[in-house]
Chain A
Amino acid sequence: MLSQWLFYGFATLAVVGALGLILSRHPMNGAMCFVITLISQAGLYALLSASLLFALQLIVYAGAIMSLILFIIMFLNIQPADLPQETGRWGFLIGGSLAVVPIGLLLLKIVRSLPAGETTIIGNGFGHVKSVGLVLFRDWLLPFEIVSILLLVALVGAIVLAGKKETIQ
């Protein structure tokens, strides 16, 4: 019963954080709202007994990545005067949300069709480093390896787009 309430609490917080990210005008407020979403997601992982994922979510996403984002926002030193004038913002928001209503209804129907489950603590080291590592290297070896190519591409791309502007003749 408690886990059910915890689930609703975390889920609501995650959605509220995401709404705040979209609706807040200053990027810093948006980033802080995003932290709420990331932390409540970590809570959801904990409810699913995914302890490694819970720790990674807190350390990597809510910790490292968010501090980088905050660092960049502070680095840019955005003043209220620098923000663009968003006229007709509410019109776009309402129009956009009306446009995604059918997708939302479809998703509701799908979620209703899923079998109900009770969140219980799974034993046997489920979600620990060892079991996750075994699954990763036994069942998911190929995707795990090709992620390294994806990261390499992202690295090279970042250098091409943001590096010093000099050209080769």
Chain B
Amino acid sequence: MTSDLVFLLPLVTVTIGAILLMLLSAFEKIRIEVSSALAMGIFAVAFLIQLVPVGPDDVRPFVSLFNGILLVSDFTRIASLIIIACGFFTAMSSISYFRQNSFATLEFFSLMTFAVSGMILLTMAQELITVFIALETVSLSIYVLVGCNRRSVLSTEAILKYLILGAFAGAFFTMGAALVYAGVGSTGFAAITDAIAMGGLLQNPALAGGLLFILFALFFKVTVFPFHAWVVDVYDGAPIPVTGFMATALKTSIFAVLANVLLLADDIRGTWVDMLFYLTVFTLFAGNLIAIGQNSLKRMLAASGIVHTGYLLIALIAVSGDSFSGSVILYYLAAYAASTLGIFASLSYLSGNDEKRRDFDDFKGLAKVRPYSAAVIAIFLLSMAGIPPTAGFMGKLYIIVTAFQAGQTALAVLGIVSSILSMWYYLRLIIAMYFHESEDAFEVSSSRSAPYCAFILAACVLAMGLYPVAI
């Protein structure tokens, strides 16, 4: 009984830390540096606790008390490691950002920590109502983080769009959960697996329809093709650290849920494999088309996030359900998170007062003035484009090899084509940085936390490229 607590300790640490930060934000004397350092400390402790190898593989902590609603496995452990690390680096780089943008509140760090605690819960939940509550906790905190710059019209537009469309997706999720309950008589994942094993998915229309609605709601959150329209404006309007946090931590947690739901039974993927195939192809190419047309860096990164969702979908279609370890998905998520967080940390440092440098043209000649920053950004861009020896290359390689092994040759080839297309907009920034004369003095933030963060992440990107994963 008491030893079960060990499995939940990272979640408990982050939640208590969030409440502590919330209480501290009531004091006027505390500076945001203190709050940020505290948040970083909480994430570091949670990360170290999560790293400690404990016990057997799949554990349901407090199984009689919680009715087996939570499941801790290697998959959830690594997913929450990525999420906690995203929280750590966001808290670290936001200090540089808030030196140049004066709308910092202490609640910022509290809400971010709450979001992380919801995300960890999301990876572990094995029951639809718990998933919904955790999802709403995460969404609510991120809505507020997106809109926390109240003087910016763009930010207000972003929060309004995200809030209304997010509420719509939440309604879809609830309707799906209700239909699943109507079909199965329970909302637990185990009961759903049993029901599918008994008669197949399509023998139970309420269950099939409910799962379809739930998938749509999750697809909305990770910006799969027909549900991607909100992402560019929302990422553009959100403060830079929040955009980085959304693009990485949120995507990791939702993909963990998607993997949990899609891999409940082979029948689920088997039934909808055609639909998933077309959604993946459209996601890859719609994302690329949108990204090619953008002039603003944040909008380009938002659109490229859609493309990366497409790669992750390829992995979800291709991984075998029997021996699912999720290593390919988690490796790609970690590689993508490191590069994306790194770019956003660099932007937090370089974008100037009130994010005045936004476009590709604003970064012309960066390499002449700030060679180290330009080099680090180039590493992240090369990793996202999938060029060796970076982690992004290895991630894409694993996904494409998995797709070939699973017989999804068309998807693998389309993945390679989309990867070549994506070079266009990643190399465009490198060309702007290296092959133009600088017109700008590139004055930077007075805090050096974001560049340190970016250098650590660049080292991670290169080191992870050397770390092999069993496919």
Shortest distance in angstroms between A151's beta carbon and chain B's nearest beta carbon? 9
Residue with the highest number of chain B CB atoms closer than 10 Å, among A114, A152, A165: A152
Residue of A nearest to B69 (CB): A142
Q: Inside 8 A of B130's CB, which chain A residues have their CB?
A: 142-143, 146
- Asked if A167 and B104 sit within 8 Å, CB to CB, the answer is yes
Shortest distance in angstroms between B176's beta carbon and chain A's nearest beta carbon? 11
Does B67 have its Cβ within 8 Å of any Cβ on chain A?
A: yes
Q: Inside 8 A of B22's CB, which chain A residues have their CB?
A: 152, 156
Whole-angstrom distance between the alpha carbons of A150 and B141 in the complex?
9
Shortest distance in angstroms between A165's beta carbon and chain B's nearest beta carbon? 6
From A109, A141, A161, A165, give the contact of B65 (CB < 8 A): A141
Residue of B nearest to A162 (CB): B150
Residue of B nearest to A146 (CB): B133
Number of interface residues of B (CB under 8 A): 49
Known contacts being A157-B144, A167-B103, is A140 close to B129, with CB within 8 Å? Answer: yes
- Asked if A114 and B182 sit within 8 Å, CB to CB, the answer is yes
From B110, B133, B141, give the contact of A143 (CB < 8 A): B133
Q: Inside 8 A of B141's CB, which chain A residues have their CB?
A: 153, 157
Q: Inside 8 A of A149's CB, which chain B residues have their CB?
A: 15, 114, 117-118, 137
Does B148 have its Cβ within 8 Å of any Cβ on chain A?
A: yes
Whole-angstrom distance between the alpha carbons of A163 and B396 in the complex?
45
B window 131-154: CB within 8 A of A: 133-134, 136-137, 140-141, 143-144, 147-148, 150-151
Known contacts being A143-B133, A149-B137, is A110 close to B179, with CB within 8 Å? Answer: yes
Question: 1/0 per position for A125-169, CB-CB distance to B under 8 A?
Answer: 000000000000001111100110110111011011100010111
A interface residue count range (under 10 / 10 to 19 / 20 to 34 / 35 or more): 20 to 34
Does B107 have its Cβ within 8 Å of any Cβ on chain A?
A: yes
Residue with the highest number of chain A CB atoms closer than 10 Å, among B108, B121, B151, B205: B205
- Asked if B15 and A156 sit within 8 Å, CB to CB, the answer is no
Whole-angstrom distance between the alpha carbons of A114 and B183 in the complex?
7
- Asked if B121 and A146 sit within 8 Å, CB to CB, the answer is yes
Whole-angstrom distance between the alpha carbons of A143 and B114 in the complex?
16
Residue with the highest number of chain A CB atoms closer than 10 Å, among B70, B141, B159: B141
Residue of B nearest to A155 (CB): B22
Whole-angstrom distance between the alpha carbons of A161 and B209 in the complex?
37
Classify the secondary structure of A's interface with B.
helix
Whole-angstrom distance between the alpha carbons of A161 and B108 in the complex?
11
Q: Inside 8 A of A70's CB, which chain B residues have their CB?
A: none
Q: Inside 8 A of B144's CB, which chain A residues have their CB?
A: 153, 156-157, 160-161
From A140, A153, A157, A168, give the contact of B104 (CB < 8 A): A168
Shortest distance in angstroms between A55's beta carbon and chain B's nearest beta carbon? 22
Whole-angstrom distance between the alpha carbons of A106 and B22 in the complex?
45
Does B307 have its Cβ within 8 Å of any Cβ on chain A?
A: no
Does B111 have its Cβ within 8 Å of any Cβ on chain A?
A: yes
Does A113 have its Cβ within 8 Å of any Cβ on chain B?
A: yes
- Asked if B205 and A109 sit within 8 Å, CB to CB, the answer is yes
Does B436 have its Cβ within 8 Å of any Cβ on chain A?
A: no
Q: Inside 8 A of B69's CB, which chain A residues have their CB?
A: 142-143
From A110, A161, A169, give the contact of B205 (CB < 8 A): A110
Question: 1/0 per position for B47-80, CB-CB distance to A under 8 A?
Answer: 0000000000000000001110110000000000
- Asked if B137 and A146 sit within 8 Å, CB to CB, the answer is yes
Shortest distance in angstroms between B248's beta carbon and chain A's nearest beta carbon? 20
Does A107 have its Cβ within 8 Å of any Cβ on chain B?
A: yes
Shortest distance in angstroms between B46's beta carbon and chain A's nearest beta carbon? 16
Whole-angstrom distance between the alpha carbons of A159 and B69 in the complex?
32
Q: Inside 8 A of A165's CB, which chain B residues have their CB?
A: 150-151
Whole-angstrom distance between the alpha carbons of A160 and B107 in the complex?
7
Whole-angstrom distance between the alpha carbons of A165 and B204 in the complex?
53
Residue of A nearest to B141 (CB): A153
- Asked if A113 and B206 sit within 8 Å, CB to CB, the answer is yes
Q: Inside 8 A of B2's CB, which chain A residues have their CB?
A: none
Q: Inside 8 A of A106's CB, which chain B residues have their CB?
A: 209, 212
Question: 1/0 per position for B274-295, CB-CB distance to A under 8 A?
Answer: 0000000000000000000000
From B19, B32, B67, B137, give the contact of A168 (CB < 8 A): B32
From A139, A160, A161, give the contact of B67 (CB < 8 A): A139
Does B448 have its Cβ within 8 Å of any Cβ on chain A?
A: no
Residue of B nearest to A138 (CB): B67
Does B428 have its Cβ within 8 Å of any Cβ on chain A?
A: no
Q: Inside 8 A of A141's CB, which chain B residues have their CB?
A: 65-67
Q: Inside 8 A of A146's CB, which chain B residues have their CB?
A: 121, 130, 133-134, 137
Given A149-B15, A168-B104, 14 other A-B residues pairs in contact with their CB atoms under 8 A: A113-B205, A114-B183, A139-B67, A142-B67, A142-B69, A142-B130, A146-B130, A153-B140, A156-B22, A157-B140, A159-B107, A160-B108, A161-B148, A167-B103
B-to-A contact residues, CB < 8 Å: 15, 19, 22, 28, 31-32, 65-67, 69-70, 102-108, 110-111, 114, 117-118, 121, 127, 129-130, 133-134, 136-137, 140-141, 143-144, 147-148, 150-151, 159, 179, 182-183, 204-206, 209-210, 212
What would 26 A/B residue contacts be, using CB atoms closer than 8 Å? A106-B209, A106-B212, A107-B209, A109-B209, A110-B179, A110-B206, A114-B183, A140-B129, A141-B67, A142-B70, A142-B130, A143-B69, A143-B130, A149-B118, A150-B136, A150-B140, A152-B19, A153-B114, A153-B118, A153-B141, A160-B105, A160-B144, A161-B144, A165-B150, A167-B102, A168-B105
